[in-house]
Structure 1
Amino acid sequence: MSRKLYSALLYLLAPLIWRRVRRERMTGRPRGERLGHIADMAGERVLWLHAASLGEVMTARPLIRALIDDYPEHRVVITTMTVTGAERVNALFGDLVTHFFIPLDFPGATRRFVERLAPEIAIIVETELWPNLIHACSLQGVPVTVVNARITERGFRRYRRFAGLMVPVIRQLSWVGAKSGEDAQRFRALGVPARRINVTGALKFDLQLDAQSVAAGRQLREAFGDRPVWVAGSTHEGEESQLLRAHATLRQRFPDALLVLVPRHPQRFDEVDALCRRQGLEVARRSAGDTVGATTAVYLGDTLGELMALYGAGDIAFVGGSLVDIGGHNLLEPAALGRAVISGPSLSSLGDVLDMLEKGRARLEARDADELGRTLVALIGDDDRRTELGEQARAVVAANRGALGHTRSYLAKLILAQELDRPLPEE
């Protein structure tokens, strides 16, 4: 498929695409942003980073902070696709950055956006490669980089299937900071010259423990009292029912055990609450400020941006998206807190992060609800084993930090090169 055919298909599907976008709307923000209608910044020095959703924003958090600190004379612009990502950007950085929604990948919208933004460099987190957006950057001479870059085996096959569309796009990348050697090889196989690829490691290992979140987790744990507490974070549809089965097994042995349940998507909070109550469980909701009493079985973490604090309030962390065919979510957040980490078997999106945890014997795997229940009972009953797993997880995170420094260094060279190419201001 060529880029022209791809663009024609986008126009044909425009009504459906726009309907989807209408659901991803942020109060007070014009829909025109999705078509590239933003303020003209051509007279400013702009560094642009794109983090598609909440997960990418959290991964990029230390890099965004570094850009703010390293380039005070630049405006740092962050784009997201989702509202949850936008809300997290605003909560973390406020007016230290400028946020826009990424334009839909129509040729006119992307060209308008890049012309008005006029960035010195485009930094894409992970692999959000939109053909027309990257082409628009190429037309304007904007170097496009990918940081924390990864291509799963499934994604690699998809790119190969649509080689006529994606390979020319990927070959336009100015630099790729790959998470692993395997990711680097896949980018190389898709046409990125070896001189434009460096293996930097995973930015997720450089996550910073926010003192406020750590303190909030400790305070919450004290409020729960002297009872077993496990946290299930970033859970999906079809997963919560399995987690509640495992919780029932745990409560047979430890009747006062508490499950802190944190669904991945905010629109499912009420649905998960209803699921718990249908099973006769007493639920307290964080958003309502409910008190956790002796008979509370589930504490529903129905807020945004508090997952680290909630992980910190537990003795054990289960990371969701892994008992259903999602590919798993960030195992490193509870690992950095020194919590014993459990996941299901579906972890295809984690790549080298999973490899490092495996080598460090820092994760347990439960294939289904029954095995998860047995694992929880064993860990709650064995303080030494639980502590050992948590310390091994913390050690893996500490040993693999460094991707931020490598990424920062390579981006500095590219930004300097762009500065040297800039015409001198007129006197």
Structure 2
Amino acid sequence: MSVTSNSEYGARPRFWFAVYQLLWHLLLPLAFIRLVWRARHSFAYLHHIPERLGFGYGKLITQGSIWIHAVSVGETRAAQPLIEAYLARGESILLTHMTLNGRRTGKQLFGQAIAAGKIRQVYLPYDLCWSVEHFLRSFKPKFGLFMETEAWPTVVFRCKDLSLPLFLVNARLSERSARRVSQFGNAGRALFQAFAGILAQTEFDAERYRSLGVRNVIVSGNLKFDVPLDSKLVKQGKTWQGELHAAKRLMVCAASTRDGEEAIILRAWKGLLLSNAFEVQPLLCLVPRHPERFAEVAHQIEAAGLTFRRRTEWLDTPTESAKLDVVLGNSMGEMPMYYSASDLVVMGGSLLPFGGQNLIEACAAGCPVLLGEHTYNFQQAALDAIAMGAAKRVNGDLLLGEAVALTEALKGLLSNRAELAQMSAAAIAYSVEHQGATKKILAALDQQNFSLS
């Protein structure tokens, strides 16, 4: 893959770009109102406001860094092996985010490097010409790597204008998203064609980008297979699982659930408990994807008549769960612990049409996965996991009032310890087999005609 000269592509869709800029300026006040609204939950939403306009970076700006944009939590974690590889080479990193939780995750993962000045962490400014211009001219990065699905038109086109190589790495594009891009005609296609190159997770993703007229596309695999699990959290999880197993109790983790899915899961769980299929009732660990929904989900558990406690009510791993039906996972950054403690995962985002969430981390922890039908954001990963026996898909309508299909799927797996053990071994094999994306991405970028010194 080689860096493509700007002349290869048609002119920027100037009319639509002008409309886009106008809309951004009109909606800018709403963006700040949204931050103020979110500050009800955490005042940190109002921190670093000037950065969102391309200013407020201070006098100590390191130029010539490798710029990695990871919009939120998942992208930041996925970028970890790539960031660590560049730090090991002695490179400095400019790490940008769009969300508060993404920034918090970056600080959690790379706190030492940030303190040492090897990583500079800021918000990517809103996609306005003047804010993007000031950001790029302040930092003058060596080249940019956008994680997964991010493609902000002002940033992408301005990097192209400045001959600043910008790559989309660990890139994925669902069939639904590809259709949406195509609806914008040349304007949508020009956006992805303006990247210097796209390094896609799977051949499915690569073909969708090629269908948009992008020629510089290679398949490099999924970085999330290379992300190591936090050993301390894994140990905590195994300790918790040992205590549960000593009491002859299994645990199911409903991970990264979205609005509407908790109701389905709680109906299914109540049906499972009322079935009296187990000598010792299993435990549900319910972990909503968005922290701002923790209180709402707690009310749903109470309304379902299930006994529960919040994870934050324990200092270490929950040890007093004998009489509980549910543990509410209302903590951040502890998914490896929840997965390591669990015997089965119900993957959120897949029960309703949200496109699914990342199942790779659960498999790396050796935890079998139960999926709904909506996995289009992780199509290849889901198909491969099912093919290897690491995951199963729920058959039936999950919107039925009693969520019978999910109840039966849970009952069938939890009643078969041998099958769970086979799926656990398959999950680990699946996660190991697909590692190596970091090396492929580094090798592809090393072949470019800019210096990585």
User: If the length of structure 1 is used for normalisation, what is the TM-score?
Assistant: 0.92
- Measured in 2, the distance between the counterparts of 1:160 and 1:52 equals 23
1:133 aligns with 2:155: yes
Shift of 1:18: 2.5
2:353 aligned partner: 325
1:349 aligns with 2:377: yes
Question: Which string of whole-angstrom CA distances, capped at 9 and with x for unpartnered residues, describes residues 26-72 of structure 1?
Answer: 267320110011246666331110111111112222112112112x1
Q: How many residues align?
A: 415
1:404 aligned partner: 438
1:375 to 409, 414, 430: 409
- Measured in 1, the distance between the counterparts of 2:20 and 2:370 equals 41
1:337 aligns with 2:365: yes
After superposition, the Cα gap between the structure-2 partners of 1:108 and 1:67, relative to the gap in structure 1 and judged at 3 Å, is same
1:253 aligns with 2:286: no
2:116 aligned partner: none
1:425 aligned partner: none
Name the SS of the counterpart of 1:261 in structure 2.
Answer: strand
1:217 aligns with 2:264: no
Name the SS of the counterpart of 1:327 in structure 2.
Answer: coil
Question: Which string of whole-angstrom CA distances, capped at 9 and with x for unpartnered residues, describes residues 227-284 of structure 1?
Answer: 1211110011111111112212332323531101100000010111111112221111
2:325 to 288, 297, 300: 297
Tell me which moved more, 254-263 or 16-25: 16-25
1:285 aligns with 2:310: yes
1:361 aligned partner: 389
Shift of 1:364: 1.2
- Measured in 2, the distance between the counterparts of 1:164 and 1:16 equals 29
Conserved 8 A contact 2:69-2:147: yes
Matched ranges for 1:97-108 at <5 A: 97-108=119-130
Conserved 8 A contact 1:177-1:407: yes
1:118 aligns with 2:136: no
1:31 aligned partner: 49
Conserved 8 A contact 1:52-1:80: yes
Shift of 1:340: 1.8
- Measured in 1, the distance between the counterparts of 2:179 and 2:281 equals 48
Conserved 8 A contact 1:262-1:302: yes
- Could you tell me which amino acid in structure 2 is paired with residue 264 of structure 1? R
Name the SS of the counterpart of 1:345 in structure 2.
Answer: coil
Name the SS of the counterpart of 1:350 in structure 2.
Answer: helix
- Could you tell me which amino acid in structure 1 is paired with residue 260 of structure 2? G
Tell me which moved more, 310-319 or 222-231: 222-231
1:306 aligns with 2:330: no
Matched ranges for 1:151-162 at <5 A: 151-162=173-184
Conserved 8 A contact 1:202-1:403: yes
- Measured in 2, the distance between the counterparts of 1:155 and 1:242 equals 26
After superposition, the Cα gap between the structure-2 partners of 1:35 and 1:5, relative to the gap in structure 1 and judged at 3 Å, is same
Conserved 8 A contact 1:42-1:115: no
After superposition, the Cα gap between the structure-2 partners of 1:362 and 1:43, relative to the gap in structure 1 and judged at 3 Å, is closer
- Could you tell me which amino acid in structure 2 is paired with residue 85 of structure 1? G
Q: Which consecutive residues of structure 1, in runs of 5 or more, have no partner in the other structure? A: 421-427
Q: Identity across aligned pairs (percent)?
A: 31
2:107 aligned partner: 90
1:76 aligned partner: 93
- Measured in 1, the distance between the counterparts of 2:217 and 2:168 equals 10
Shift of 1:23: 4.3
Matched ranges for 1:99-248 at <5 A: 99-193=121-215, 196-224=216-244, 225-226=246-247, 227-248=249-270
Conserved 8 A contact 2:36-2:45: no
Name the SS of the counterpart of 1:249 in structure 2.
Answer: helix
After superposition, the Cα gap between the structure-2 partners of 1:42 and 1:231, relative to the gap in structure 1 and judged at 3 Å, is closer
- Measured in 2, the distance between the counterparts of 1:306 and 1:100 equals 24
Name the SS of the counterpart of 1:13 in structure 2.
Answer: helix
Shift of 1:354: 1.6
Conserved 8 A contact 1:44-1:75: no
Conserved 8 A contact 1:42-1:118: no
- Measured in 2, the distance between the counterparts of 1:39 and 1:117 equals 11
After superposition, the Cα gap between the structure-2 partners of 1:42 and 1:298, relative to the gap in structure 1 and judged at 3 Å, is closer
- Measured in 2, the distance between the counterparts of 1:43 and 1:67 equals 16
Name the SS of the counterpart of 1:417 in structure 2.
Answer: coil
Hey, which bits of structure 1, 4+ residues long, moved more than 6 A?
none
Tell me which moved more, 264-273 or 238-247: 238-247
- Measured in 2, the distance between the counterparts of 1:271 and 1:292 equals 23
Shift of 1:21: 3.5
Name the SS of the counterpart of 2:296 in structure 1.
Answer: helix
Alpha-carbon RMSD: 1.9
1:20 aligns with 2:34: yes
Conserved 8 A contact 1:170-1:192: yes
- Measured in 2, the distance between the counterparts of 1:299 and 1:52 equals 29
2:12 aligned partner: none
Matched ranges for 1:382-421 at <5 A: 382-414=416-448, 417-418=450-451
Question: Which string of whole-angstrom CA distances, capped at 9 and with x for unpartnered residues, describes residues 200-240 of structure 1?
Answer: 11222223222112111112223445212111100111111
